[in-house]
């Protein structure tokens, strides 16, 4: 299953947001574990990546240079998980950062 990334800027937001999944859009959050996916994307964007687990089906990526505060993102992930994500699709309330320089994903 090939990775699929789509760019979107939410109408009420002023930052780029990328949705990462697989081409089937089923259990696509696992794409972040594919070899070199985050490394290649961070190189392409020229920035570290903030990784927000949306559900087991997708993750959201925001270049760190967008300047968003980690606490705000954590609160957003928690609220969306609580109000909009089905319990069977829940992945995590954590926000992660992929460091381009270290080539490493860690909890923010």
Read off the pLDDT of each residue in 72-100 and give the average, rounded to a whole number: 95
pLDDT tens string 9-63: 555 557 788 999 999 989 999 999 999 999 999 999 999 999 999 999 999 999 9
Who contacts 73 (Cβ-Cβ below 8 Å, separation ≥6)? 50, 52, 62, 95, 108
H or E element that contains 75? helix 70-83
Judge contact between 90 and 80, C-beta under 8 A: no
Give the Cα-Cα-Cα angle 66, 104, 36 (nearest 5 degrees).
90
């Amino acid at each position: 299953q090939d990775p699929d990334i789509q760019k979107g800027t939410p109408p009420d937001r002023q930052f780029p947001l990328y949705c990462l999944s697989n081409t089937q859009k089923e259990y696509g959050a696992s794409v972040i574990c594919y070899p070199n996916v985050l490394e290649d994307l961070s190189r392409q964007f020229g920035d570290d990546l903030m990784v927000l687990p949306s559900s087991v089906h997708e993750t959201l990526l925001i270049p760190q240079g967008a300047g968003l505060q980690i606490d705000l993102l954590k609160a957003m992930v928690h609220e969306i998980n609580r109000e909009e994500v089905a319990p069977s699709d829940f992945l995590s309330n954590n926000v992660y950062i992929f460091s381009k320089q270290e080539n490493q994903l860690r909890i923010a």
